[in-house]
Amino acid sequence: LRIEIQNSEKQRIVSDLTSVFAHEIRNPMQVTRGFLQLLNEPGLSEKKREYIHISIEELDRANDIINDLLSLGKPPTNDMQGVDAGHQLGRVIQILETYAAFQDVTIISSIDKNCWVLANAQKLNQCLINIIKNAIESMPTGGVIHATCTSTEDGYIEIMIKDQGVGMTREQIERLGSPFYSLKESGTGLGMMVSYQIIRSFKGKVLVHSEKNIGTKFIILLPSLKHDY
């Protein structure tokens, strides 16, 4: 199933509003987090320490949501330059390896050299992190993720992320990328929305193939940037 990324009005409104509010909300949260840490003294009862721990975790979760929202507020064409997509994919896999191992997930990668695209490295990384994190989280009892980066004959750099996870129905695939769509207990439902927006800003495309209880394959296609002349 091919997902056409739409530049919807709804998404633009979300991004305008959030960039205004996000910074204002973050400061009081950081102050609260700091005081919670100060409260957390060794003499406290186990129960109270647990409550403080949960409060800090929840604040961090709120902060994650804000981070996702904030990246929507950025104009789509800022800071584009030649980026080796394969190199970035390798870095992201390295970053996520501990998280994956913790969930009994192994990431096997095959990355071509010189996969140059016109992009913003940080945003590309964020997009890849969101997609690979979802792949890891789709396998509650562990498994293997295959990640590849290759150049296609018709001028694209193709990044593929394939998991052996819970998979999605057609309806679920179609809802991917809508704000706050999440089937996870503590999910933000913003990761895919951010990722689609990033790929769109790089003039890329996304293909999603998924089968319930078999797994999911994301293919990101970005226009290749020739560097050899």
Residue nearer to ligand ADP on the CB measure, 15 or 216 = 216
Q: Which amino acid is at 183?
A: L
Using CB under 6 A, which residues numbered 186 to 225 contact ligand ADP? Answer: 187-193, 216
Q: How many residues does the chain have?
A: 229
Beta bridge partners of 216: 210
Those residues with Cβ within 8 angstroms of residue 144's Cβ, 6 or more apart along the chain or in another chain: 105, 106, 107, 108, 163, 164
Judged by CB under 6 A, which of 11, 88, 134, 224 binds ligand ADP? 134
CB of 12 to Mg ion, least distance (A): 22
Q: Which is nearer to ligand ADP, 84 or 163 (CB)?
A: 163
How far is residue 206 from each of residues 2, 52, 138, 156, 202, measured CA to CA in Å? 7, 41, 19, 12, 11
Q: Which of 130, 164, 201, 224: binder of ligand ADP (CB under 6 A)?
A: 130
138 binds ligand ADP (CB under 6 A): yes
Contacting positions for ligand ADP (CB under 6 A): 130, 134-135, 138, 163, 165-168, 176, 181-184, 187-193, 216
